[in-house]
Structure 1
């Protein structure tokens, strides 16, 4: 009897130690599909935006006529960009960050990937709107300091005030 009980306990301990692991690539692809559907549904319900996709990234941009900016700026990862922006969650419209009268400067290579793809599409004093899937924004990492949930699809309104190489 003791032997049977011991074998049963070992089996239970062995099975309880087994955890179902999820392949990170499967999670990434699943979230990408969710994000892409959110953006697609948004654009379908707002057909007049004239949004264009940046390559195959899933990032969409809108530049209104006359808001492209001026100049012949060359952008690299070390290019310093001075911007004003509003960041909101696309699905809720909740604003999570806004610069108002403060215009921070960043090296282009240090900002989220969605910005790295979108900002070079405009010039100094240009304005752009970016719809950014979570994989090109903050990904699965919640930003508690600004009350941003993990895997948030973002809507950025950006004005490029200055470009320094």
Structure 2
């Protein structure tokens, strides 16, 4: 039994040391460095220039946005449930190919979406249309997900269809 204990302990230690290296692992720890922040901001600036966009505003968190239509009425809060039509792509993808979109106007709890959405959608009312350029730390960070690689800044064009619950 003693001879089995040390190899088993070493194997367990090795397996545990691998935790967090898989960006899609549930236990991934988000890390955001100054270097990544600089890369995200540069990628967003290049996207804005490539698209010839004007009137872009950047918040203190690093979220950049353009409001195309402010919408009407009360704006959602961070705890609101909303219906939205959206299209998401990678800031760095010059083809503009969408990695995600929804034309069927799904509902979202703003407490359960990426931070960039939670922050950005509070800027418009019902019927509003906004483009969010989201640095990776406000999206899927260094963990990524099945559709988004780690450390990827994103762009979303969103139409806020309805606020179901304030």
Alpha-carbon deviation of 1:47?
4.0
For residues 38-81 of structure 1, what are the alpha-carbon distances to aligned partners after superposition, in whole Å with 9 as ceiling and x for unaligned?
Answer: 11222234444321112x111111112xx1111123x3332111
Q: Higher helix fraction: Structure 1 or Structure 2?
A: 1
SS at 1:97 equivalent: strand
SS at 2:111 equivalent: helix
1:30 matched residue in structure 2: 35
Alpha-carbon deviation of 1:25?
9.9
Shift of the 160–41 alpha-carbon distance from structure 1 to 2, 3 Å rule, reads same
Max radius of gyration: which structure?
1
Alpha-carbon deviation of 1:106?
1.5
User: Please, what TM-score do these two structures have when normalized by structure 1?
Assistant: 0.74
Alpha-carbon deviation of 1:27?
5.5
Alpha-carbon deviation of 1:26?
8.4
Comparing 35-44 and 134-143, the one that deviates more: 35-44
Q: How many residues align?
A: 135
Shift of the 88–25 alpha-carbon distance from structure 1 to 2, 3 Å rule, reads closer
Shift of the 116–25 alpha-carbon distance from structure 1 to 2, 3 Å rule, reads closer
Q: Structure 2: where are the runs of 5+ without partners?
A: 1-28
1:153 matched residue in structure 2: 153
Whether the aligned pair in 2 keeps the contact of 1:63 and 1:129 (CA below 8 Å) is yes
Equivalent residues in 2 for 1:67-106 (5 A)? 67-73=69-75, 75-92=76-93, 93-100=96-103, 102-106=104-108
RMSD: 2.0
Shift of the 63–77 alpha-carbon distance from structure 1 to 2, 3 Å rule, reads closer
- Equivalent of residue 113 in structure 1, options 112, 115, 118: 115
SS at 1:63 equivalent: strand
Shift of the 79–155 alpha-carbon distance from structure 1 to 2, 3 Å rule, reads same
Whether the aligned pair in 2 keeps the contact of 1:53 and 1:61 (CA below 8 Å) is yes
Whether the aligned pair in 2 keeps the contact of 1:31 and 1:151 (CA below 8 Å) is yes
Whether the aligned pair in 2 keeps the contact of 1:77 and 1:110 (CA below 8 Å) is no
CA distance in 2, matches of 1:26, 1:139: 7
Instruction: Spell out structure 1 runs of 4+ moving beyond 2 A.
Output: 24-27, 41-49, 75-78
Alpha-carbon deviation of 1:94?
2.8
